[in-house]
Amino acid sequence: MALRSIIKLPDARLRMVSAEVETVDDDVRALLDDMLQTMYDAPGIGLAAIQVAEPVRLVVIDCARDDEPKDPMFFVDPKIIWVSDELACYDEGCLSIPEVYESVERPAECKVTFLDRDGAPQERHCTGLLATCIQHEIDHLNGVLFIDHISRLKRSRIVKKFTKAAKLEDVV
């Protein structure tokens, strides 16, 4: 396992649509393990492969609280097949947009199909924080960021802030 660098806004790769995984093999499992270690180190509760500059449809999640045992989940080619009419609001953040948190409204529940780390088909009914997290991460796989779900004015301010910071880093 190795720590990977997390790409940050305004990196254009965050807007890429990720490719499906053809085969769940040792290389895919190694990337999933790297992603999990990177997510824990950040620290975060979810990470999509594109956030470590790998444009493939992989997600790792662990919504366990600090006082609970780790509960890592691996999603290969996840697809949302159902969402509830009921909505829920969570203050979302993103490892690719550090220190920014905004209230986002999403379906309160969803069902997801995916392959597990052994390539076996799975289906999972997600509620609460897990439902929000999996929707957030699948958005990443489709080139969508959580700031796309907030007002245009707030989004514009955030993008300008990160674009300015990136230009300053380029000068240094």
Give the residue extent of every domain in the chain. 12-171
Q: Which CATH number fits domain 12-171: 3.90.180.10, 3.10.20.30, 3.90.45.10, 1.10.10.60?
A: 3.90.45.10
Residue 168 is predicted with a pLDDT of 83
Which residue, chain included where needed, has tokens 């955030």?
158
Catalytic site residue 22? no
Q: Which of 32, 134, 148 is nearest to 83 (CA)?
A: 134
Global confidence as pTM: 0.95
Residue 73 is predicted with a pLDDT of 98
Q: 98: cis peptide before it, omega within 30°?
A: no
Other CB atoms within 10 A of residue 133 CB: 22
Q: What is the mean pLDDT of each run of 10 residues along the chain (172 residues)?
A: 94 98 97 98 97 98 93 98 98 97 98 97 98 98 98 96 88 64
Q: Give the active site residue among 92, 102, 109, 137.
A: 137
CA atoms lying within 13 Å on the CB side of residue 60: 25
Distance (Å, rounded) from C-alpha 146 to C-alpha 139?
A: 8
